Amino acid sequence: MFALVLADIKGPLPLPGLPPFVLSSLALLLVSILLIAFRRRNRSNDVEQNPPTSDTLEQLINDYRQGGLSKEALFCRLSDLLADGLVRPTGSARRTTDEILSALAADAGLSSEGFRSAEYLLKLCDQVKFARYQPSEQELQQVFTAAAMLLKQNVRDTP
């Protein structure tokens, strides 16, 4: 009938060269490195595309009235302009409104009326940027007037 063959049980023969997990590990490592590099590049591009503006208030108002800026963009740039103009240490664009107001409160160069005006303007900018508040044209005119007075007062009081 059938011949019976007795043989040892052997596992699979080892492949010549590197084990398969080494190649998959290298592929995962490469993908991780590329992902990290891509994210860092995107973050640096975001910072370069939105630098703190050196616009003057008059330029912002003119750009808005000529239709070059939406209300949201106007208030974003106005917030940056106020933060840069009122807070002396640079880097104010990365600060929250509360941090900017705390720095203003600690600075003795701003009057209490100026502080209230800065608080109103910065919080209104936050409402427009984050809560999609749409100020009326009359409110816009008041904002422009208050911002101009605040920035002129701050420039005049600065040594």
Q: What is the pLDDT of residue 36?
A: 92
Asked whether the beta carbons of 81 and 57 are under 8 A apart, the reply is yes
Q: What is the pLDDT of residue 152?
A: 81
pLDDT band per the 50, 70, 90 thresholds, residue 68 = confident
Q: What pTM does this model have?
A: 0.58
Q: Does residue 87 have a pLDDT over 60?
A: yes
Q: What is the pLDDT of residue 88?
A: 63
Tens digit of pLDDT for each residue in 103-149? 888 776 778 888 888 889 999 999 998 888 898 889 999 999 988 88
pLDDT band per the 50, 70, 90 thresholds, residue 46 = very low
**DSSP conformation class of 51:** P
Measured distance CA(59)–CA(91) in Å, rounded: 22
At 133 the three-state DSSP class reads coil
Residue 26: count other Cβ atoms within 10 Å of its Cβ: 11
Measured distance CA(148)–CA(57) in Å, rounded: 7
Give whole-number Cα distances, 20 to 14, 23, 27, 102, 153, in Å.
11, 6, 11, 58, 71
Higher-pLDDT residue of 13 and 58 is 58
In this structure, which amino acid lies at residue 122?
L
